[in-house]
Amino acid sequence: MDMTKCTAALFDFDGVVMDTESQYSIFWNEVGKKYHPEYEEFGRIIKGQTLQQIYARYFAGMEKEQAEITEGLDRFEAEMKYEYVPGVVGFMRELHAHGVKIAIVTSSNERKMASVYAVHPELKELVDRILTAEMFARSKPAPDCFLLGAEVFGTTAENCVVFEDSFHGLEAGNAAGMAVVGLSTTNPAEAIAGKCARVIPDFTAFGYADMLALLVHDSFI
């Protein structure tokens, strides 16, 4: 840990800040039934991927179908319930009280986030920066988004802690050389335990001291 640089907490959005993953599973499983019935749980297969990645891998050359899915997704996101993961608001406020910089680093696009702000206008006040899919050359599992998170705060990877729930997100945090905390909101704790420094179900029993311990521990390894 570099004591001359600030500490930063980099949060994925879905499944980390907002408990939305179960809702997305419903939408994408329905998409799978219609367009890819060969997959039993299409919603689980595409978790952690951007819409661009999903289209490139599963709907290449299917412009009409992509347009239909995008239209349906826009309607779905506009009507979604955006509820905070337990304890995350209090945790963010505690971090700010200790001078920690906070960014949401998400594969979601600006259009989706506009729907979120309509429901939770206070979100922008809880964090210092919100980095969306339009800002990254490469999406998760590439580390670009988290490296940008460190860059915007003028800090280093060793001073950053990533909070993620998806396999792609955990991989991106590790590739960025940052301490990674896994949220078992989307995948079982045992499935992500080997991909992060610590697994938590939510933020009700995780605070600033717990996060700082990860950075201090890493600096002595």
* Pair 71, 177 in one domain: no
* Pair 70, 168 in one domain: no
CA distance 23 to 152: 31
* Pair 111, 199 in one domain: yes
Question: Is the residue at 3 inside a domain?
Answer: no
Q: Please enumerate in sequence order all residues whose Cβ is within 8 A of that of 52, keeping only pairs 6 or more positions apart, or say none.
A: 133, 139
* Pair 74, 145 in one domain: no
How many CB atoms are located within 10 Å of the residue 60 CB? 9
Integer CA distances (angstroms), 149 to 8, 11, 34, in order: 8, 10, 37
Which pLDDT belongs to residue 130?
A: 97
Domain boundary residue, one of 44, 62, 79? 79
Give the chain's domain count: 2
* Pair 110, 195 in one domain: yes
Query: How crowded is the C-beta side of 83, counted as CA atoms within 13 Å?
Result: 8
Domain boundary residue, one of 56, 79, 102? 79
pLDDT digits (tens, 9 = 90+) for 10-42: 999 999 999 988 888 899 999 999 999 999 889
Torsion over CA of 98, 18, 111 and 104, rounded to 10 degrees? 30
Domain boundary residue, one of 79, 96, 115? 79
Comparing C-alpha atoms, which of 64, 86, 81, 57 is closest to residue 205? 86
CATH number at residue 103: 3.40.50.1000
Question: Is the residue at 179 inside a domain?
Answer: yes
Amino acid at 188: P
| Residue 90 lies in domain | 8-20+83-219
Which pLDDT belongs to residue 217?
A: 64
Q: Residue ranges of the chain with pLDDT lower than 50?
A: 219-221
CA distance 61 to 168: 24
